[in-house]
Chains A and B, each alone.
Chain A
Amino acid sequence: NQRKANATIDEIWQDLEAGLQHIYRKEPMIPQRYMQLYTYVYDFCTAVSTHAGQGIPQQQQKNLIRGNNNNKKSANMQNETDFVGQELYNKLTNFIKNHVESILKESKTRTGVDQLRYFTTQWDQFTFCSRVVDGIFAYLNRHWIKRELENGNNNIYVIYTLALVTWKQTLREHMATSIVGGVLDLIEQERQGIAITSSLVKGVVDCLVELGIDEVVDSNNAAESTKAVNPKLRVYKKLFEDKFILATEAFYVCEAAAFLQGNPVPEYMKKAESRLNEEKFRCETYLHRSSLQPLERKCEEVLITAQLELFQTEFCVLLENDRDEDLGRMYSLCERVEGGLDELRKAMEAHVQKQGLNALEKVKEQANTDPKTFVLTLLEVHNRYSKLVEVHFKNEAGFVQALDKAATVFINKNCITHAEGSNAVSSSKCPDMLARYCDGLLRKSAKNSEDSEMEELLNQVMIIFKYLEDKDIFQRFYTKKFAHRLVGSLSASDEAEQSMIGKLKQMCGFEYTSKMQRMFTDTGLSRETSEKFSEKCSNSGKALGCNFNVMVLGANSWPSLGSSVPLNLPYTMSTCVSEFTSYYNEMHQGRKLTWIFSHSKGEVVASCFSKRYAFVAMTPQMAILLLFNSCTEMDGKTMLEGLQIKKEHAIPQLASLVKAEILQVKEGDVANLDETTKIALNLKFTNKKMKVDLTKFVARSEVKQEQQEVHQHVEENRKMVIQAAIVRIMKTRKTMAHSLLMTECINQLNSRFKPKVQMVKKCIDILIEKEYLARVDGQKDTYEYLA
């Protein structure tokens, strides 16, 4: 082939067109031919200047160019090239248009899958070939077209784009109806379970996406840009996605209605779940990823939102029947739509509350007196549903909250704590039960748990404790029991005690457990003190005549253990007491020791019976027994004189020994305990054991009294705590609206107890009267702090 210097358009176009046809037939082309075609374009574009003037008068040309171009100078320099570029461009446009029209014509003769196959194949070829053509026209792209674009001519495209735009313009209608219709048919078939050639769908989708190549953000159409639709996807969305979503909706509306007619809701949920997965997979496989969100939204709307009422009804049934897996499935479905979980949470709260109350109602008789039954019943219900929430509801915050609310109700307000005919003391029932349950765990006994097991049991206690409204009442009961365990050396293990205190501290803060901690410390220090005292006694040669251990308890940290009852101790013991008192006073000046004999105990050996027995006895019991060292029988009056104790304190102690059959009443009545009462040693006493615990024979009358005492203290104490909280808040806030102050105050105290609104208001009254607070002038609902 010879290069022709001054080629005219007609001269080159004939062969160029033949080349283009060759390319679009997708027949193999040798590089030389490709180069030849490229050269035609190059030559034509570069040679133009020499024959520029031939066709058109110069003047006219200039005007033409001015009209196109604002930059006069550059326009003059480039004018001829501009003109000729346009000519070549137009020829090519026409060529492509004819080619595409022939495709359209052919495509219209086909239908269904055949049509889709033809269309996608043609598309693939077309894009491939257009890229080749784009290469041949590279020189035009780089110069004439580039300049036109730079000058803002919107009707000129880079050659490859030109090809796609032409395709789009020509085939738009055809694609929108036949092709997309065919694709939607295919998808529907697949939804019905028929296998399809998904590559056909993918081919069309890719085509539509690629056809967005020339779309730009349309500044006139602000509404569209706010929807943040990528302009490049406009064709895809408009021609395909919108219709696809509509088809999806129609399909699933039908399917859901039909399926629910013949199937129960759990089956429907499985179906919905798998449908949602399928659609996601579909989108990932052959649709554009931007369709995922609208597709999922639509499916959720039809499959879930539209059925929410049905779900809510079914939810209760599933709860009743413990269908955990179905519940979980319902959760994951409803979680996907807005507000889908609201009703479910409410339903669960009501259900759990009812379950808790029912469970207690069933064991009412036993739970009323047995803390273990009470606590374990509560735990069982809580654990059942906490597991449900954790495993199947993924610990979603709203469900956790609903569970908490329900638990708070059934733990604090149930048939045990609010039994009919109960008095005001009843609000302390739950804390009392829990404290007694703890006592049962931590007290030394034959069936104490292993360390690891104990830890778990204490953790379970903390679950109930967390929901307890009256934590301050629990604190008092617990402290009392704790004191008894420490004083009586009844703790199963120090580690367990310490661990429990640690847990309480973690939940309620340092202040809550500071007294318990000091009690613990006192006990440890007492051990040391006792040892040192014994050491000192033996070193200084003073024989005490017995083993002597003492516990020194700080009056501020320990709950009242009952008043100190004066008692005339037997000689041996009184020596110990006075020796220790002087020893202790020497060590710590200014401290006053008060001896509480009613809580101390010891061991005595009796050699007057058939066998030699050791008795573990409370100190007052011991004092009585030791009286019988000098005689075997005495009257009540003598006994009281010997003991120097008040009658009402002596009677229960004496009664315990009579009950233990060590003493017997010869004449009169223990209840009178005067000259007429004759008490004698029962010399026939026998027992299987060599060591007999007499302490357990002492009747315990304290429980009721303890409850009342605790309750009274708590009321007073709460008022002080509330007032302190109000003052603290007002001190920092200076002025505050009534409702805010109430909320803040109740929030601050929630970890200790649940203050009643009326009580807080009462405290505000008191503080106004005491002139800590005043109402702000003219704003009766706002208080100010008076410094």
Chain B
Amino acid sequence: MANYFTGRQTKNSKNAYETPNTAYNNNGYYGSPLKTLFNQYANDPEDRDKAPEKIGPNGIMRLLTDLRLDAEDRKVLILAYMMGAEVMSEFSWEEWEKGMNAMGANSIDGLRRKLDELDRGLKTNSHFGPLCKFTFTYGKMAGSRNLDLDTAIIFWKILFKDQFPLLGLWEEFLTTKYKKAITKDAWNQTFEFADAIKPDFSNYDPEESWPTVLDDFVNWARKRFANK
């Protein structure tokens, strides 16, 4: 199981100590259902040092258990995306509040239902593109321009589920030939590629605006097809 949700302390959490105050202002009274829910997971004893006044890695694990979600479920990414989470394995109060309001949920059951709904409609609603773009920024190391190859592959698997038949081949190419971090453009264009190109590459034209990593991939894969 991938450990991408834990232990990668990346960006420094800004204004961590100010968050409780804003809760009063926005909700009118202390102890709104959202805040109560937040507090169930925030300030977990083991997270307190790393992420004070936030839901930290352990809090998130408990949340996922309550939501009956596996860490590699796409809904976990959708949750982070809806929250607009800045740092992996952390939700601040603002993120929590904004995300829950956007989803119109104020309970674990409500959240679970909403996530199911969003996930089911992902191919047709307008969230898929932004979710993919979000994932790149969410998943990369702070200060790095590109996304680690291993992380990228894990996220692709989560995002695509079974909708990209060439994913296995793509993974093989990237890990055995390419062996570099994925640029933002290559990341984004892979989704375009998955959407537009037939599995036999018959409509792929290397003169078009695809990034060269995809040209190289198609070239490599075509040779493999020919050899078989």
Which residues of A are in contact with B by a Cβ distance under 8 Å?
A: 738-739, 742, 757-758, 761-762, 764-765, 768-769, 775, 780-781, 783
Contact = CB atoms under 8 A, between A and B. Distances in A.
Contact of B145 (A739, A742, A769, A775): A769
Nearest to B209: A738
A742 B210 CA distance: 13
Contact of B183 (A739, A761, A765, A783): A765
Contacts of A739: 207-208
Contacts of A780: 189, 192, 209
A757 to B, nearest CB: 6
A761 B212 contact: yes
B209 A781 contact: yes
B207 A757 contact: yes
A765 B212 contact: yes
Given A757-B206, A769-B145, A781-B208, A775 B185 contact: yes
A761 B215 contact: yes
B211 interface: yes
Contacts of A757: 206-207
21 contacts: A738-B208, A742-B207, A758-B212, A758-B215, A761-B211, A761-B212, A761-B215, A762-B212, A765-B185, A765-B211, A765-B213, A768-B183, A768-B184, A769-B145, A769-B146, A775-B185, A775-B188, A775-B209, A781-B208, A781-B209, A783-B209
A783 B145 CA distance: 20
B183 A769 contact: yes
Contacts of A768: 183-185, 211
A769 B136 CA distance: 14
Given A761-B211, A765-B212, A780-B189, 7 more contacts: A739-B207, A739-B208, A765-B185, A769-B183, A769-B185, A780-B192, A781-B208
Contacts of A761: 209-212, 215
Contacts of B212: 758, 761-762, 765
B209 to A, nearest CB: 4
A761 to B, nearest CB: 5
Interface string B37-52: 0000000000000000
A768 B189 CA distance: 12
Contacts of A764: 209
Most A CB atoms within 10 A — which of B146, B189, B209, B210? B209
Contacts of B145: 769
A780 B215 CA distance: 16
Contacts of B215: 758, 761
Contacts of B209: 738, 761, 764, 775, 780-781, 783
Nearest to B183: A769
A781 B196 CA distance: 13
A758 B206 contact: yes
A147 B195 CA distance: 84
A783 B206 CA distance: 17
Nearest to B146: A769
Contacts, number: 41
Interface in B142-165: 145-146
B187 to A, nearest CB: 11
B144 to A, nearest CB: 12
A781 B211 CA distance: 11
Most B CB atoms within 10 A — which of A738, A761, A764? A761
A472 B183 CA distance: 31
A737 to B, nearest CB: 8
Nearest to A738: B209
Nearest to B211: A765
Contacts of A775: 185, 188, 209
Interface in B172-190: 183-186, 188-189
Interface in B189-225: 189, 192, 206-213, 215
A768 B212 CA distance: 12
Contacts of B184: 768-769
A761 B215 CA distance: 10
A738 B145 CA distance: 24
A115 B137 CA distance: 101
A764 B189 CA distance: 14
A769 B147 CA distance: 12
B115 to A, nearest CB: 27
A741 to B, nearest CB: 9
A758 B209 CA distance: 11
B190 to A, nearest CB: 12
Q: Nearest 8 CB-CB pairs, A to B?
A: A738-B209, A768-B185, A781-B209, A762-B212, A769-B183, A761-B212, A765-B211, A765-B212
Most B CB atoms within 10 A — which of A739, A775, A780? A780
Contacts of A781: 208-209
A350 B129 CA distance: 50
A739 B209 CA distance: 8
A335 B146 CA distance: 60
A738 B192 CA distance: 16
A781 B212 CA distance: 14
A765 B145 CA distance: 14
A698 B206 CA distance: 51
Contacts of B211: 761, 765, 768
A61 to B, nearest CB: 90
Nearest to A783: B209
Interface in B111-150: 145-146
Contacts of B189: 780
Nearest to A777: B129
A24 to B, nearest CB: 83
Contacts of B208: 738-739, 781
Nearest to B207: A757
Contacts of A758: 206, 212, 215
A688 B180 CA distance: 67
A427 B86 CA distance: 51
A781 B183 CA distance: 17
Nearest to B129: A778
A746 to B, nearest CB: 11
A742 B185 CA distance: 18
Nearest to B193: A780
Contacts of B213: 765
A748 B209 CA distance: 19
Nearest to B210: A761
B143 to A, nearest CB: 15
A739 B145 CA distance: 27
